[in-house]
Chains A and B, each alone.
Chain A
Amino acid sequence: MTRSDDEGGLRVALCEPGGFVALYRRESELVLTFCARRVLDAETALDITAETFAQAFRGRASFRGTTRAQARAWLLTIARRQIARYLRRGALDRRALRRLAIQMPQLDPDQAEEIERRAGLQAIRAELGEQLARLNADQRDALRLRVVEQRSYAEVACSLGITEATARARVSRALRALSAALEPKTSLNAAEESWTSP
């Protein structure tokens, strides 16, 4: 990122009154879209967005950036970490929300649908199905056993009659192929995500 990206050199005074809320109003929908495209579920995305902003609020004193782009990159880094944690553990982190005693809003089905529409989840799901169909049968079977049926690599290897190393390689290649194919759909536009650390 360069100085020309910093939208006039605006300083993000997060520690001043109203500074954080202004950041929230400006970036929350982008963060929500970012999360929704990765977890493919509106409710979960809203929860992760809320926790992301709660963590950002608690850590705002340590933010050293000076521009809007840097603040956005900072938020997306927190969100990425939350998503990775959620995907790894299958549970949401809510510590910061709890510490701030933030009441989560109710998400009715219409709003959930609207979030999915804005994030373009239907297209991503369709693309995912298409890309799965394009994988070769060996990789697809390995991926199904490991991800859908949640079997261990040893069991995947046993079921397919291959070594554990080969099972790992097939799952890894399948995930990489899916990731490469879906990346343009799941990411926000390049300008929004590009950053250098503050």
Chain B
Amino acid sequence: MDKPLKALQELGDEFERVEREQPPPRRARRRRRRLPLLVVPGMLVVAAAAMAASAILTGEPVRNPPGLAFRADEGLGKPKPATIDLLDLRVADPDGGPPWGMRTLRTTRGLGCVQVGRVVDDKLGVLGQDGAFGNDGRFHELPADVLTQAQCQQPDGAGHVFLAVSYQGLPASALAGACRLSGVGKPPRPSGAPRRPAQPRCPAADERILYFGLLGPRGRSVTYDDATGREITARTHGPDRGYLVVLRPSATRRPSGRFVPSPTPLSGLASVHYDDAPICRIRSPRALGGAKPCPPVGYVAPSGPRVNAGQVSTPVRATVSRKPVKPPWPRVPVGVEIPRMWKLTIAFRARLSADAQRLYLVGVRPRSGAGCRAVSSGSVNRDVDAGEVVRYTTYLPSRCRGTVRGIVTYRPQPDGPEQVPAFLMVLRGVPEGQAVVGRFSVDLPG
């Protein structure tokens, strides 16, 4: 008889530990709960009263696009219900109606997010206008798990989030994508591609410019110029000091559809005021030297043990598809043809765990003279357990030939406030603070 496998023995020891540490479970009992019959009519009465009070009818909630599901251990993660906080921040819309508001939340991956929308009965949502929900005129609640309508960022070492968004053209409905902004041209249609249903134009009066975000614990207020050139001050709300500015487009603020997230305010506002720190004057992007972001006042760099190569190094394997294949990229617009590409799969067994803060980064570069200049770098955008086999897939243009080289590094903590996911170029030397997990090379067929 074969002797027991070492890996299974070790795994068995782990189960032995877990069984020892956990109290014995109780036998599961099946119970069905029923609402007392009297409660149901009561609930209906309360709902009807609430509807009458809000004077705006409620429709179905906003949903994620079909086929898009958020996972607790991947990408942004899933919202943690206990962390959802609608800030006491209400901003009037230039045309009236329900005010604008903002809420913050944390996800299962520890990211801090903000969502903006219209507020009815202390609920954040969107309005059925500007092409949204068939222009039904109703209020549609925005569930927290519709993270396509959220902006997220990694918190700093003290748990505060720094985030600034400049939204150059959001319809007054607060739902992006349901109508085409006046500053955005028609998307090109490749010859032979099926005709897409025409997207309605956003009514010019319903286009809005939004600046919003979280300034961190010392952010006191922001100032901006209104349409007449008057400087307006908006104070911040909540522990992460949220701000929200809603304006009509103007000659200097065109509804171009540009959406610019950054850790700190970069453009659009006039100034940012902090507790015990100099005022940050926002420069025009057209000024000599261009725009400059405000400093992250109050940012605490996350601390963690330094990691060296000895702790993370492990064999890294790379394999390439025998032929170029079509990348299975989701949500490709109708008519857009994705070219076939080399599929490169990198695999290694992680020695240390990773999450949204501590990342495994992969950089890939074909050898010079390989017929292409493509470089690819990215992070393993999910939670990784120590001991787990990590597989990372990337695609290179089919014209690439010869040898592809690459490197896998481990970054134990962020270097500063940054966007998610962290795309760092790790090809030209390993940045300070990162440890080399391993290097690989693979020959492309042909």
Contact = CB atoms under 8 A, between A and B. Distances in A.
A77 to B, nearest CB: 17
B423 interface: no
B97 interface: no
A102 B6 contact: no
B384 to A, nearest CB: 9
User: Contact residue range for chain A?
Assistant: 35 or more
Given A95-B73, A98-B73, A100-B18, A150 B328 contact: yes
Given A21-B15, A98-B73, A150-B326, A29 B385 contact: no
A94 B177 CA distance: 35
B251 to A, nearest CB: 47
A136 interface: no
A18 B385 CA distance: 26
A28 B11 contact: yes
A62 B28 contact: yes
Contacts of A100: 18
User: Contact residue range for chain B?
Assistant: 35 or more
Interface string A36-63: 0000000110110110010001001110
Contacts of B322: 148
Contacts of A191: none
A190 B10 CA distance: 29
Given A25-B12, A149-B323, A105 B6 contact: yes
Interface in A82-122: 92, 94-95, 97-98, 100-107, 111, 114-115, 118
A112 B109 CA distance: 32
Interface stretch (B19-27, B185-193, B259-267): B19-27
Contacts of B18: 57, 100-102
Nearest to B328: A150
Interface stretch (B59-67, B302-310, B386-394): B386-394
B247 to A, nearest CB: 43
A81 B119 CA distance: 43
B349 A107 contact: yes
A111 B10 CA distance: 13
B276 interface: no
A160 B389 CA distance: 37
B386 A28 contact: no
A136 to B, nearest CB: 22
A20 interface: yes
B7 interface: yes
B105 to A, nearest CB: 21
Nearest to A63: B28
B277 interface: no
A151 B326 contact: yes
A47 B388 contact: yes
25 contacts: A18-B19, A24-B15, A25-B12, A28-B8, A28-B11, A29-B5, A43-B389, A46-B11, A49-B11, A53-B11, A57-B19, A61-B27, A94-B73, A94-B385, A95-B73, A97-B385, A98-B383, A98-B385, A102-B14, A102-B15, A104-B11, A105-B11, A106-B351, A107-B349, A150-B326
Interface of A: 15-18, 20-21, 24-25, 28-29, 32, 43-44, 46-47, 49-50, 53, 57, 60-62, 92, 94-95, 97-98, 100-107, 111, 114-115, 118, 148-151, 155
